[in-house]
Chains A and B, each alone.
Chain A
């Protein structure tokens, strides 16, 4: 077998050293009655050309979206990935090592993590960041658990405009440890209802969790939100599902957030049908002991040279076991490396410019769509790179027409928000040309003309 490097002769010699006649002799500690007697029903072995052909068939033929233009966002964003990111990150020295437990032979990974942590601090305006978490949803859940450990309070208030999958994940994580979750509604602007929030948050509240831009693409005013949480002694958790927005919008740390967490997929990771992505988290210095996940820190070697190590590990499971701040061990290190390369390549100006492009493209599209009779903007609040469009009919009714025109117009919101009937979440980024945006506008108008005249509701 091609991934095995022993010859028959090698095996013979090794068995002689061990003192056995057959490989099966090594497995005598597995009692015979439970040893698997047959051969597993697994196809193969496939040769490399066969494998490539097989996977091409699944990737390119059974997947059939390639010729369509998609305006899907909602927690995963299409962005251009510079060649340098793929090239540099695919080096075997980055792809194939383990977690850097032996720092003397892992400085590349460790320094990259240290740079990543710095970039995340700069973007979020907070003091410290970790080496990564699984994704935005589990990051939000970890932040909630962290706040509950710090405050020892039983209640958490989530914005209803927080990504539905993040809320579901938080719910799953919190159910077994008795945290009570409450939701605060959004206003007609599509922002957190501050009045209701003020009433919901009390001295039993551990944290207030607000996403910006929120699930509807609307940019929240974080400062008044975190003022409320602070007044009641709760922690303010900022969630960022579109990390690129951090290049343009007020950083959560500046607005008073205690913890910021989110999804870094936009920084050089492909859509990849949902993963692997990149959870990130940052917080104020004072919460250092309750911070989850791996952290790289600077130190010196015996000759006084600067170097990096994994540090503060007394928070972690391999030392603290059941008392650890999180059970996380393997994280998304290589995804964080890609984000680091991406951010350093784009730099301050490139990232800002990209954020502006996203902003202007989405806002152009939003304005043009809103001119079509029968369509309206669901929320008046300002948006970054996605927005909610109210249709006069259920989007599913227009779907066949859009499909015919090779367009996926957006995410249908009604399933997660029954009150947002006929609403579509539409995203535009730098990957969409003006022609594509104009085509969506044109097809949308035509779709409304073509719709079956009866049956306004689905």
Chain B
């Protein structure tokens, strides 16, 4: 494969890739006087159009993607991204509208926003939604702010937020950003919230419990109603991280079981593409009690007209500019409508079937720390392989040689050497079997040729990279040769 240089290394100041039309207004140079001007940007690239296109085309070929194949990254719900979603989100009526256009000219946009809110309410059983958060973690932060504002209005914001030890790192980070101290709750032997530990920790200084359901082990928190009762009895709120909602659609509605706040990830459950790390969208659903605190603006429907409401005295305020990642919302709406009620239920059914099929097919060769039944994902560990000097990362890297994307590694933290597998519902049996066979083969290789794993991957554009060097001697940007910095 051709090794692709940085664009800066291809640059030649004589070349250019883009021509603007002649300026059609007067351009007297003296107009620029009085402005703090910059020098021409030194070392900015200057290449031809074919070079730009080939540069990115070649780079793209070094990426693995969902369009290419199986991507069982646990907790990320890497399902197929339907192509009609891209088509409708690219309609010029959606892409062209300035966010400050008068409301009467963007009724279609507002209808999209309101419609998705309504559908998410139906799917989750929550009383109201905001679509503004740009990603899951942004939704968490927004949700915690709502809770804090409510408590403040009761006279005391409270001090702590309870979070199980299996939680995603964004949970404690979001709670902390919102001014709370985090108390970690240990999981029990089944891998779920320990009710006794929760009862003990749940005081009137606790603002909320943040749980993920199904949790990061893929286990449904069966005691969700009791958990809600314990939290509510002390005046706290139950926050549910809805990252794993793909397991539940049409089968369980958090709002019906005492969940007060939930965030969803449109870029997980609702099929919008991840784009190599965003844009996502992290809508937040709330119970009636918290609705007055939602960020502004709120989309309001009056008859068949829609408007944006800023007159919300209890609102936490704005969490970003404008109204959210609108085009992501368009795609998620298209997805839900393409599936309908029955389709959504089928999604959760098949997602859970696929995960259990993998679990069953690998549990004799990979260690399963928790034997509790799981839903949409399963978490193995490298315990059986460690005796050969092979760890979970080696297994992951070896999978790449088989043309597959690795599972999530070393998360959740409650499983040492974790391999967290989430196949999603869109995969064929052939792809699932390919993965299972590769994993079984790798288990054999671990015993017989461990170096094959330790040196993996062998077949990629670059092989295993020195991450320690990257962190210790950070090179975070290109500089021209001979420059005196770095």
Contacts and interface: CB of A to CB of B under 8 A. Distances in A.
B360 A17 contact: yes
Contact of B338 (A51, A87, A357): A51
Interface string A40-82: 1111111010011011111111111110101010111010001
A165 B429 CA distance: 49
Interface string B317-332: 1111111111110100
B102 interface: yes
Nearest to B44: A348
A84 B52 contact: yes
Contact of A4 (B321, B406, B408, B425): B425
A87 B108 CA distance: 26
A242 to B, nearest CB: 13
Interface string B92-115: 111111111110111111011000
A154 to B, nearest CB: 14
A96 B60 CA distance: 11
Interface residues of A, number: 205
Contacts of B429: 5-7, 10, 13-14
Q: Count chain A CB atoms within 10 A of each CB in B36, B219, B350, B400 and give the residue with the most.
A: B36
B322 A314 contact: no
A274 B106 CA distance: 12
A329 B36 contact: no
A52 to B, nearest CB: 6
Interface string A89-107: 0111111111111111111
A357 B49 CA distance: 21
Contacts of B60: 88, 91, 93-94, 108
A443 interface: no
Contacts of A251: 38
B80 interface: yes
13 contacts: A30-B252, A45-B339, A46-B340, A63-B109, A98-B78, A98-B276, A105-B62, A109-B276, A122-B42, A276-B134, A303-B463, A332-B134, A334-B273
Contacts of B476: 114, 117, 128-129, 295-298, 311
Interface string B380-406: 000000000000000011001000011
Nearest to A294: B277
Interface residues of B, number: 203
Contacts of A187: none
B238 interface: no
Q: What DSSP secondary structure best describes chain B's contact surface?
A: loop
Given A176-B179, A382-B35, A108 B321 contact: no
Given A34-B252, A272-B94, A275-B322, A108 B471 contact: no
B371 interface: no
Interface in B18-70: 18-20, 23-27, 31-32, 34-38, 40-47, 49, 52-53, 55-57, 59-68
Nearest to B43: A122
Interface in A223-253: 223, 246-251
A309 B337 contact: no
Given A136-B321, A305-B462, A45 B278 contact: no
A1 B346 contact: yes
> Which of A15, A96, A311 lies at the interface centre, i.e. has the most chain B CB atoms within 10 A of its CB?
A96
B189 interface: no
A352 to B, nearest CB: 7
A329 B73 CA distance: 15
Interface in A14-40: 14-15, 17-19, 23-24, 26-31, 33-36, 39-40
A430 interface: yes
B352 interface: yes
A46 B342 CA distance: 12
A244 to B, nearest CB: 12
